[in-house]
Amino acid sequence: MQRNIVSVAPMMDWTDRHCRYFHRLLAPHAVLYTEMVTTGALLHGDVERHLRYDASEHPVALQLGGSEPDDLAKCAKLGAAYGYDEINLNCGCPSERVQKGAFGACLMAEPQLVADCVAAMREAVSVPVTVKCRIGIDDADPREMLWRFVDTVKAPHFIVHARKAWLKGLSPRENREVPPLDYDLAAALKKDFPDTLMTLNGGITTAQDTLTHLKRFDGVMLGRAAYHTPEVLIEIEEKLHGTAPITLESVVSRMAVYAQAQMDAHGTPLHAITKHMVGMNTGKRGARRWRQILTVDALKSRNAADILNAALEAVA
């Protein structure tokens, strides 16, 4: 059974392919996840735009949003054909838009439907099919809802965000912060399902948090901490895998090459790539200028090296 899995959570509007390329430079061993892609977007939209990624992103997982087994099976096949290493089903997002589509966190109330979806996806592809969920929704007792959900769905790997999702009354942002974390409950779930991989998500911000939680779980998934303070990914790599320190200079150099290639080949705006780097150097001298160059100055430039080197000089 695979253990010590460290991953970066799927985050809407954040973990696009440019963000994932950047995170891969910082964390060579981490599993990276796409933003959630709905089945409708793949079945009726631009598949190439949604699924294109850089080969360096492996291992990379595609997160799907949907609740129709046949549609999810078709989309899982598309993901596998594109070479994704894992297909993940979103059963944790509490946003109203997702609720209107009858998927996301509200699926925790329909474990048999989720079981049918997972079974259809697993039959369609040979890569792992995983489920990301909460510990419960609304007033439901997590000990009852979560245990029934895991026992019914029977996925080989669950990523458990250790907070409830409140489908009414809290915004998506509040749902990430207001419901209390219950790591012990998630650990009890792992103890009762020892043969199922369990990754813990929610409120994990440091390398020490990660190492501590890996004593009780098979994996740890970082969310906003990986985006706002991406140096934490470098520290985790050093502590968990003994890798040599990754320097800011090397990251900037490789991002400049990547960004210029994306601009030249696809017309990608420079700021669409560099915006994912603004969390680096938070709290350090020159951090404000670093952020300004990567967001404002990048809007007006077509030379990635000039912009990124200027940002590097600001924090030198």
Catalytic residues: 93
CA distance 250 to 243: 15
CB 89 within 8 A of CB 117: yes
The C-alpha angle with vertex 18 and arms to 234 and 54, in degrees rounded to 5, equals 95
The C-alpha angle with vertex 193 and arms to 190 and 194, in degrees rounded to 5, equals 80
The neighbour count for residue 313, using CB atoms within 10 Å, is 12
Going by the DSSP 8-state scheme, the letter that residue 42 receives in this structure is: H
CA distance 176 to 166: 10
Phi, psi for 128 (deg, rounded to 5): -60, 140
In the numeric block, the tokens 């799927």 are attached to 10
**Token code pair at residue 207:** 């390398």
Q: Which residues contact 171 (CB under 8 A, 6 or more apart)?
A: none
